Structure 1
Amino acid sequence: MENLERLSGRIGGGEYDRAFSYLYGCEERTLLAQRRRYLDLIRTFGERYGRQECALFSSPGRTEVGGNHTDHQHGRVLAAGVDLDVIAAACPNDEGIIRIKSEGYPEDVIDLRELAEKDSERGRSASLVRGIAARFMQLGLKIGGFDACTTSDVLGGSGLSSSAAFEVLVGTILSGLYNGGALDPVLIAQISQYAENVYFGKPCGLMDQTACAVGGFVTIDFDDPQKPVVEKVDFDFAHSGSRLCIVDTKGDHADLTDDYASMPAEMKSVAAQFGKEVLREVPPEEFYKGLGQIYGKVSDRAIVRAVHFYADNDRVPRQVAALREGDFPTFCRLVIESGRSSAMYLQNLFSCKDPARQGLTVALALSERLLAGKGGAWRVHGGGIAGTIQAFVPESLLDGYRAMIDGVFGAGSCHVLSIRPVGLCEVTTGLGR
């Protein structure tokens, strides 16, 4: 904890620039922007709660890199934390109450004496805070009240997991203020998933929370969802010669629940033909050998979606190997393969209910036109149907790529990001040393 006035002076004087460079990049305009962002947060915190000291915390958004719709079948994924994050200024209180004021949203107030689920909170951020605190207590971890203000630049609706970043941030604050900051990031991710599943009411997997918590490139094997195997992947993306772009095609996510639900449901329908719950439990050799016996008993689309699962699940470790070997061209080739499998077999580029609207397909076609054969890569990002694509763009092509995308989908549609080397953290002057 540090006095607000002294903390503001140190940030304004550049003492936190090393930490900011580690999290956000070292360009001067980036450092100045982060100074202003943190100073504004500290001022807002002091004005709202009248506190004289605070600690600073951060949790990044994430991007899915490999393994499209594989996690819900207990498969493998490759993801990465990005340089957009949600940050908090927080201070403990002795009232047994958590108060969190997130910029642009009503204040969440949680009495720690009342940690049972509340139906009235389902689908709201308060349920996440309550669920995280409840899970801490169930696991025998320390909890206590605190006041916090947060602000986020994680793009909502972009597939960068703004909700998971917030969940992980709440767990990080409780870890830092009451558990010595010693909790394993994967444990905080699991606690966050519990809160979203049980309290918020969304049956999400663990990929989003884990990628936000761990940061950098991270590969996760969900063969045993209760004990996922999480490995950091060392690769210096900052010196790869490429930039990561997330393209927002401005698609409408309304009325797409059935489209998203059909993908895990159809894959599970194939697994059921082999007496299993998910496809990871059916070896690929058994699937292909038995295809003649199950053909006609499930839909053709279910079968080709299973084909996608097996191919993309196998592709993830090859992507990981390419990164670890510093073979970026092979990595890019595998990204393109993953995208083509999603388009042809997973079929998640547009809704069958509205086939005339294909923003993702348009964005991918434009990306291929500019990047093919020039060291780039492109694929659907996240759930698909509507939303975003991902592209790895050589720096020499970045200006032209961004101009082309913004010219079609509107100014600001192409978001240029970096891979952040660390996930959840307390922001101190020692960060990045």
Structure 2
Amino acid sequence: MNTDQRIEALKERFVRKFKEEATDVFSSPGRIELLGNHTDHNNGKVLVSTIDLNILAVASKRDDNRVVFYSKGFPKMTVTLSRLKLHENEYGTSVALIRGVLFKMKQLGYKIGGFNVVSDSTIFKGAGVSSSAAFEILIGKIISYYYNEDSIAAFKLAQIGQFAESVYFNKPCGLLDQSGIALGGINYIDFKYLVEPVIKNIKVKIPGYQFLLINTGDDHSKLTPCYAAIKDEMAMVSHYFGQKVLREVDEEEFYKHIDEVEKKTSHRAVLRATHYFEENKRVARAYEALTVNDFKTFFKMMDESGLSSYNNLQNCYVESEEEKLPQALKFVKTLKGEIYSRVHGGGFAGTMLVVIADKDFEENYNILVEKYGKNNVMRVALTENGTCHL
């Protein structure tokens, strides 16, 4: 179904569920991480873009201080505004995200209130396209629109979403996903100062290439301990230098003392810190390349990022290189033509990002579809809009 057909179907379902018509339509997109793999949680640099996968929602206000949410394929969710404390038994659930967003908005002094929602999504859960972040920012946007004159800034919504995911959902995360989705378009973000990061929207089209997300067959939604270990091991290195995050560590000092750091931490922690420092430089170079339409350099940096994620960050498999994601990453490297690839998102399982030049696309697309199935090889387009009221 196209967007108009989806909206019409959602409106019909809304009437069946609530016995009244929806008054508003909202959209919250997925995102792809172009570069900046696991740098955001250490105040690093990222390149992120929204894509044409999204959550569509039809909604209306209600006056009994409840949020009632129907999401296609999930049971009914209800949150009462007088009961916003954290519930540990809700960890990992969408209800936790609703409750967390509402709690943080109230804590920050924003007005909150009830609403009804019926939604569907083309963002596939657990495959690295940030379905949870899109959901969080959607909730924040609805509250902003209905109760705060749509005045809450995009980055503030991102910070609220990050809180909900880290605390109420119990999944540690940086700000890349939420920021990219709230802002919309291609954005270079430097998180050196979290309160006020440097955000540069890049007005650029990337002609002559097709972007693919390949779901390799494993769900990454249960891998929170693996993601937490990356952040913890980077923290071990930064703490060696008396700092909270790697961004505060002098890179020259790190390399100067690398042998001693490894003795005090671990070999993998040092590799992951090395990835962090080098990835920040790749992001900066890729950003500069995009600003002058130097797409070859941009894709070269993306490819190098993928190699670093595999070898240094080590987030391309959990226990064995025989797992589906590393095997897929290796398979794509055997294809002929101008092709770039990398693990996508948090890693360990799930999705990879592949970019193929138009001249080499048809043959390689057919090979990938034959190997992984048409439903697991998804063409995506970079888009300009973040979470919004339609």
Structure 1 position 316 matched with structure 2 position 283: yes
Report the equivalent of 1:177: 146
Contact residue 216 and residue 419 of structure 1 kept, 8 A:
yes
Residue correspondence of structure 1 range 128-139 to structure 2 within 5 A: 128-139=97-108
Which letter maps to 1:283? D
Cα distance in 1 between the residues matched to 2:223 and 2:114: 38
Contact residue 55 and residue 119 of structure 2 kept, 8 A:
yes
Which letter maps to 2:366? A
Contact residue 315 and residue 348 of structure 2 kept, 8 A:
yes
Structure 1 position 386 matched with structure 2 position 344: no
Deviations 1:129-153 (A, max 9, x none): 1221222222222222111111111
Residue correspondence of structure 1 range 236-275 to structure 2 within 5 A: 236-237=205-206, 240-251=207-218, 253=220, 256-275=223-242
71-80 vs 244-253, greater mean Cα deviation: 244-253
1:221 pairs, out of 171, 190, 200, with 190
What value does the CA root-mean-square deviation take over the aligned residues? 1.9
With over 3 angstroms needed to count, the CA separation of the structure-2 counterparts of 1:106 and 1:286, relative to structure 1, is: same
Structure 1 position 117 matched with structure 2 position 86: yes
Report the equivalent of 1:399: 362
**Structure 1 residue 336: deviation in Å?**
1.0
Structure 1 position 145 matched with structure 2 position 133: no
Contact residue 349 and residue 386 of structure 1 kept, 8 A:
yes
With over 3 angstroms needed to count, the CA separation of the structure-2 counterparts of 1:55 and 1:255, relative to structure 1, is: closer
Structure 1 position 417 matched with structure 2 position 380: yes
Cα distance in 2 between the residues matched to 1:292 and 1:140: 48
Report the equivalent of 2:173: 204
1:354 pairs, out of 320, 324, 328, with 320
Cα distance in 2 between the residues matched to 1:254 and 1:144: 30
**Structure 1 residue 355: deviation in Å?**
3.8
With over 3 angstroms needed to count, the CA separation of the structure-2 counterparts of 1:201 and 1:298, relative to structure 1, is: closer
2:16 pairs, out of 39, 47, 59, with 47
With over 3 angstroms needed to count, the CA separation of the structure-2 counterparts of 1:119 and 1:263, relative to structure 1, is: closer
When Rg is computed on C-alpha atoms for both structures, the one with the higher figure is: 1
With over 3 angstroms needed to count, the CA separation of the structure-2 counterparts of 1:396 and 1:412, relative to structure 1, is: farther
**Structure 1 residue 100: deviation in Å?**
1.0
Cα distance in 2 between the residues matched to 1:59 and 1:146: 17
3-state secondary structure, aligned to 1:408: helix
Unaligned runs of 5+ in 1: 1-31, 428-433
Residue correspondence of structure 1 range 6-155 to structure 2 within 5 A: 33-155=2-124
Cα distance in 1 between the residues matched to 2:330 and 2:96: 41
Q: How many residues were matched structurally?
A: 390
Structure 1 position 187 matched with structure 2 position 156: yes
Deviations 1:65-104 (A, max 9, x none): 1011111222111111110000111111222221111111
Cα distance in 2 between the residues matched to 1:260 and 1:425: 29
407-416 vs 327-336, greater mean Cα deviation: 407-416
With over 3 angstroms needed to count, the CA separation of the structure-2 counterparts of 1:292 and 1:146, relative to structure 1, is: closer
With over 3 angstroms needed to count, the CA separation of the structure-2 counterparts of 1:128 and 1:349, relative to structure 1, is: closer
Cα distance in 1 between the residues matched to 2:82 and 2:228: 36
**Structure 1 residue 228: deviation in Å?**
2.8
With over 3 angstroms needed to count, the CA separation of the structure-2 counterparts of 1:258 and 1:122, relative to structure 1, is: closer
With over 3 angstroms needed to count, the CA separation of the structure-2 counterparts of 1:33 and 1:113, relative to structure 1, is: same
Which letter maps to 1:367? V
With over 3 angstroms needed to count, the CA separation of the structure-2 counterparts of 1:273 and 1:201, relative to structure 1, is: same
Cα distance in 1 between the residues matched to 2:202 and 2:358: 23
Cα distance in 1 between the residues matched to 2:61 and 2:224: 39
Contact residue 234 and residue 323 of structure 1 kept, 8 A:
no
Percent of residue pairs bearing the same amino acid type: 38
Deviations 1:314-371 (A, max 9, x none): 11111111111111111111111111112222222222x33432x3333233333335
Contact residue 115 and residue 133 of structure 1 kept, 8 A:
yes
Report the equivalent of 1:164: 133
Unaligned runs of 5+ in 2: none
Report the equivalent of 1:366: 331
Cα distance in 2 between the residues matched to 1:167 and 1:204: 13
TM-score normalised according to structure 2 size? 0.94
Deviations 1:357-393 (A, max 9, x none): 2x33332333333355x2x321111122221111111
3-state secondary structure, aligned to 1:412: helix
Report the equivalent of 2:260: 293
With over 3 angstroms needed to count, the CA separation of the structure-2 counterparts of 1:198 and 1:344, relative to structure 1, is: closer
Which letter maps to 2:353? Q
Cα distance in 2 between the residues matched to 1:362 and 1:197: 31
TM-score normalised according to structure 1 size? 0.85
With over 3 angstroms needed to count, the CA separation of the structure-2 counterparts of 1:255 and 1:86, relative to structure 1, is: closer
Cα distance in 2 between the residues matched to 1:345 and 1:45: 48
Cα distance in 2 between the residues matched to 1:200 and 1:255: 12
Cα distance in 1 between the residues matched to 2:306 and 2:320: 21
**Structure 1 residue 252: deviation in Å?**
5.1
